[in-house]
Amino acid sequence: MMSAASRIFCSIDTTEIDAARRLAAQVNGAVGGIKLGLEFFSAQGPAGIRAVVGEDGPPLFLDLKLHDIPNTVGAGVRAALPLAPAFMTIHSSGGPAMMRAAAEAAASAGAKRPKILAVTVLTSLDDADLAKVGQAVPVADQVTRLALLAKESGVDGVVCSPAEVAALRAACGPDFILMVPGIRPVWAAANDQKRFTTPAQALAAGADHLVIGRPITASDDPAAAARRIAAEIADAEIGGAGIGGAA
């Protein structure tokens, strides 16, 4: 069984290598891995990722949220394989052929392949936002629909908000990975997140991994913030919150 703190990926959203390296060092030991995404990759590219993660660094979640035609997404996943990410993201709304192309590209790396996660509905969106982009269905229904499609299309799991975790765990089974951003301790600001809960609530609902950025990285003391979150999760476990998720 994984420890609760090891389920946390700290999202390091910066354009600067030195800042990213400093944050990665500060949270080392209090989280299970780090997430680098569009902001950092656009500024620093693969060399920047290597500079932060190194040879024996923490597990890497490379969050590029690829969304294009199947050939391009497959090639994008293949091009990232030398970085040996543990997880990579694509958008489920790219459709089944695109998701299959990503899964097949990842499989070409063999045993050390990255797990492919399909983003369902971004945690910054609510029902009104979906309606504005022509998807006049409740977010929860759209997330379930996209997660089932992702599963059928051969990817390893999805990115969803904590609000959908319990329903997706029931619909997609125990082995389908649920990677969950939209995590806010009670003492943190919501920022641009619209669908969020506390870390302990997300784990109790059945999340496998939590993605936490600003509550840690915008803190005056990121190491202390990460340790505080890990302690709150541990307290909830002792208090019988029934932390779930896959081992």
Ligand X SMILES: O=c1ccn([C@@H]2O[C@H](COP(=O)(O)O)[C@@H](O)[C@H]2O)c(=O)[nH]1
Q: Extract the tokens encoding 156.
A: 């390893």
E-strand ranges in the chain read 8-11, 33-37, 60-66, 87-91, 115-119, 157-159, 177-180, 209-212
Cα–Cα distances in Å, from 63 out to 37, 181, 195, 225? 4, 12, 19, 22
Q: Is residue 68 flagged as an active site residue?
A: yes
Check whether 148 is labelled as a binding-site residue.
no
d(CA 47, CA 25): 18
Which residues, including other chains, have CB under 8 Å from residue 81's CB and lie 6 or more apart?
105, 106, 108, 109, 113, 114
Locus of tokens 């920047």: 48
56 flagged as catalytic: no
Q: Which is nearer to ligand X, 119 or 236 (CB)?
A: 119
Please choose, out of 73-81, 142-150, 207-215, 233-241, the segment that lies near ligand X by the rule CB under 6 A: 207-215
Q: Which of 33, 213, 222, 245 binds ligand X (CB under 6 A)?
A: 213
Question: Is residue 94 a contact residue for ligand X (CB under 6 A)?
Answer: no
- Is 169 annotated as ligand-binding? no
Residues in a beta bridge with 81: none
> Which residues in the 118-137 window bind ligand X by CB under 6 A?
119, 122-123
72 marked ligand binding residue:
yes
Asked if 214 is part of the footprint of ligand X (rule: CB under 6 A), the reply reads yes
Residues recognised as catalytic: 63, 65, 68
Annotated binding-site residues for substrate read 13, 35, 63-72, 123, 184, 193, 213-214
Interacting residues toward ligand X by CB under 6 A: 11, 13, 37, 119, 122-123, 159, 181-182, 191, 193, 211-214
